[in-house]
Amino acid sequence: MKLVYRILLHLTWVLTLLLAGWAALFYFTLIDEVNDEVDHALEARAEVIVKRVLAGRELPEASADGNTGYFLHEVSSEYARGRARERYTDEEIYIPERDDEEPARVLRQTFRDADNRWYELTVMTPSFEKEDLLEAIFYGILYLYLFLLLTVLLVTVVVLNRTMRPLYALLRWLDEYRIGTSNAPLEVETSVTEFRRLNEAAKRYAARAESSFERQKQFIGNASHEMQTPLAVCRNRLEMLVDDPQGLSEEQLGEIAKVQHTLDYLVRLNRSLLLLSKIDNGQFPETEEVDLGTLFRRSGEDLGEIYAYREMRFVMEEQAPLRVQMNPSLAGSLVANLVKNAFVHGARGGEVSVRISPRGFEVANTAAEGPLDAAHIFDRFYQGSRKKGSTGLGLAIVDAVCRLYDLQIVYAFRDGRHTFTVNFPK
């Protein structure tokens, strides 16, 4: 979930709770204030009537309206002592003329006259339907809540989007950043201290990654270069021993052959590492127009003869000529590694197919096993299934060449076939 949406979700919950609490407080405060004003009026009217009763004066005329007026009747002392002197209630009073009930605020008050007789005075005044008020307040708060919520959310989205621009710019820069390539500088102007510190930290870690990558490239290149001479010397000495087999037994010659095979593997591995180092260091600036169809045809024929014992077929479909500006050596490595990978990891008796289109090409082979790990297939020394003599660097070289020329390479497993598709930029 995006940060903006998470903030909006929390704001929604907070606003809901706050407005619900405010609505309840507003309702009870309003009812208490209305009741207080009405009770004061009832109390004043009751006081007038009680004073006239105690003074023996004529009482005011009671209203004919059912929920406006007063009632006075004598009660027993037990009844009076069992109740509070003043009681305020909300009641529904039946009005015969309307054949309906109307709300009223009622004050019941007991008092004693000079003759020690007890009376109960009931004073009423019209009130309002609290349920109607509650419903009106509910809908009013609901509409207010929706209006406030939408307004707050809209303002929050606008403010957050403007505030988060430096963060979004940094995320885009990190997404597009590629170690070992020319990257755009991180230029984000912001007055927010946290964002400035985040940008500075990102620059520092990017610089560390670049430094580590350069040291790694330099080490691999130097190590590969330095290993060429001792490897060549070892191979030459072993060849001299084999050319002069006097004094060597068959068993010793077999062991020498195994050592030669291991040295051949080390030479291929060293050559691949040196090639990767040169690609990473940009040591192939020369380019010319290369016909990839010719390279695929030549690699397919050569490797088809080498792997003829596995009864594998090479099929090529050239929809249109594909001529690109590339370094010829790197173009040859790109094509040779893809085709060799298809032969090495293809099923016995299967098929290796190449399809060339105006904007790219596709290399596919019948799979001997299931799909490969697409997330790591281009990592150095990754091998889905260990093959004898394979260095595990073929697809890493392909990926390095594609990155050098901004080519898009995609792996897919379809219909029991491993498929590598390379698309050239328009």
Structural domains of the chain, with CATH: 3-152 (3.30.450), 193-280 (1.10.287.130), 288-423 (3.30.565.10)
Q: At what angle do helices 250-280 and 394-404 cross, to 10 degrees?
A: 20
175-188 tens-digit pLDDT: 888 776 777 888 77
Amino acid found at 206: A
Lowest pLDDT segment from 4-8, 35-39, 235-239, 291-295: 235-239
Residue-wise burial string across 177-214, b where 16 or more C-beta atoms lie within 10 A, e elsewhere: eeebeeeeebebebeeeebeebbeebeeebeeeeeeee
Of 174, 203, 149, 11, residue with least CA distance to 3: 11
Q: Is 92 helix (H, G, I), strand (E, B) or coil?
A: strand
- Bridge partners (DSSP) of residue 313 are 351
296-348 tens-digit pLDDT: 888 888 888 888 888 888 888 888 888 888 888 888 888 888 988 888 888 88
Confidence label for 200 from pLDDT (cuts 50, 70 and 90): confident
- CA 64 to chain CA centroid, Å, is 73
Let me know: does 276 contact 223? Beta carbons within 8 Å. Answer: no
Provide mean pLDDT across the span 100-124: 85
Residue 378: the pLDDT is 79
205-247 tens-digit pLDDT: 888 888 877 777 677 667 666 677 777 777 777 777 777 666 6
**Mean pLDDT, the chain, as a whole number?**
80
Please identify which residue in the block is written with the tokens 């016909």: 291
User: Both tokens of residue 143?
Assistant: 């509409």
3-state DSSP helix/strand/coil % of the chain, to nearest 5: 55, 20, 25
Confidence label for 89 from pLDDT (cuts 50, 70 and 90): confident
User: Both tokens of residue 81?
Assistant: 């002592």
Specify the DSSP class assigned to residue 216: H
Confidence label for 130 from pLDDT (cuts 50, 70 and 90): low
245-304 tens-digit pLDDT: 666 777 777 777 777 777 776 776 667 666 777 776 666 677 888 888 889 888 888 888
User: Both tokens of residue 36?
Assistant: 């207080």
